[in-house]
Structure 1
Amino acid sequence: MEKTLVIIKPDGVSRKLVGEIIQRFEKKQLKLSQLKVATMSQKVAEEHYAHIKKFDFFEDMITYMTSSEVVYLVLEGTSVIKTVRKMIGATNCLEAEPGTIRGDYGANSYENIIHASDSPEAAEVEIKRFFKEAN
C-alpha cells in the first residue's frame, strides 16, 4: 500500500477548509492513517523547503508556513501519490483546474492551501520528517 504526506497549509486551516479537504480524500476511498495539528518550526520549514532556497519567495514561504498551525496527514491507497497530486491541482493556483483543491480554494503560488509528496521517495522522507514518533 503506497503512502503520501499531505500538509494543509496555514491558509487552509485559517479558512476552515480542513474538513472539506479530508472529505474529498475520503470520498476517493483513500485511507487516513495518521493526522496531527502543529505549528511548523522554522528549522523544519527550512529543511522541507530547501529545494526552493534559491528563489526570491523562499523567506516569504518560511514565514507563511510557520505563521500558524498546519494539518499533517498520511494517506494510503493504491497509486495514492498520483491520485492526490491530481486532486490538488497545479502548484500555481491561477493555473489549477476548477474542481481541484488548489483550483477551488488557492490564492497564489505558495499560499496554495495544500502540499503533497510528489514521489514515493519524497513521501518516505517527508513522512519521517513530520511523524518522527511513528518511526
Structure 2
Amino acid sequence: MEMTFAMIKPNAVKSGLVGRIIDRYISAGLSVCAVKMHQMTSEDARGFYAEHVEKPFFPELEAYMTKGPSVMLALGGENAIAKVRAINGATNPAKAEPGTLRYDFAPSMTENVVHSSDSPASAERELDFWFKKEERYAYEMPSLKACCVL
C-alpha cells in the first residue's frame, strides 16, 4: 500500500469543506491513515515550503497558510499519490477538470483548497514533516459491497 500526504488548506476549513473533501478521498477507496488539524506558524510554512521561500510569491503563500488552521492527512491505498492528485485537480482551478476538488471549491490559484504530494519522495518528506511514524496507521479500505448490507 502506498501512503501520501494531503492538506486541506485554511480557506476550505473556514468554508466548512473538510468533511466533503475527506469523503471524496474515502469514496475513491483511500484510507485515512492519520489526521490532525494544525494552524501553521511562519516557521512551519518556511519548513514545509522550503523550496519556495526565496520565490516572489512566498510572502503571499505564507500569509495565506498561516491565517487559519489546516487539516493534515496521511492517505493510503493503491496508487495513492496519483489518485489524490487526480481528485484534487490542476493547481490552477481555471485549468482543473470538472468534478475535481479545485474545480468545485477553489476560488483562485493561491487559495486552491488542497495540497498533495507529487512524488514518493515528496510524500515521505511531507508525511514526516507533519506526522510521527507511530501516528500513521496503514490499512486497506474494504469494498463498500463487502461491508454494507445492500
Give the whole-Å Cα distance in 2 for the aligned partners of 1:134 and 1:85: 25
Q: Structure 1 residues 3 and 93, CA, compared in 2 at 3 Å: closer, same or farther?
A: same
Q: Does 1:127 align with 2:127?
A: yes
Shift of 1:38: 1.0
Report the residue type matching 2:27 in the other structure.
Answer: K
Instruction: State how far apart, in whole Å, the 1-side matches of 2:23 and 2:46 are.
Output: 30
TM-score by length of 1: 0.95
* Count of paired positions: 135
Distance 1:74 1:46 in 2: 21
For 1:75, the equivalent position in structure 2 comes to 75
Alignment of 1:53-132 (within 5 A): 53-132=53-132
CA distance in 1: counterparts of 2:5 and 2:50, whole angstroms: 17
Q: 2:147 maps to what in 1? A: none
> Shift of the alpha carbon at 1:79?
0.3
Q: Which string of whole-angstrom CA distances, capped at 9 and with x for unpartnered residues, describes residues 67-115 of structure 1?
A: 1110001000010000110110000111111100001101111210000
Distance in structure 2 (CA, Å) of the matches to 1:133 and 1:77: 17
Shift of 1:133: 6.7
TM-score scaled to structure 2, two decimals? 0.86
Runs of 4+ in structure 1 off by over 4 angstroms are none
| Percent of residue pairs identical | 40
CA RMSD in angstroms comes to 1.3
Instruction: Give 1:54 shift.
Output: 3.8
Give unmatched runs, 5+ long, in structure 2. Answer: 136-150
- For the pair shown, the structure with the greater C-alpha radius of gyration is 2
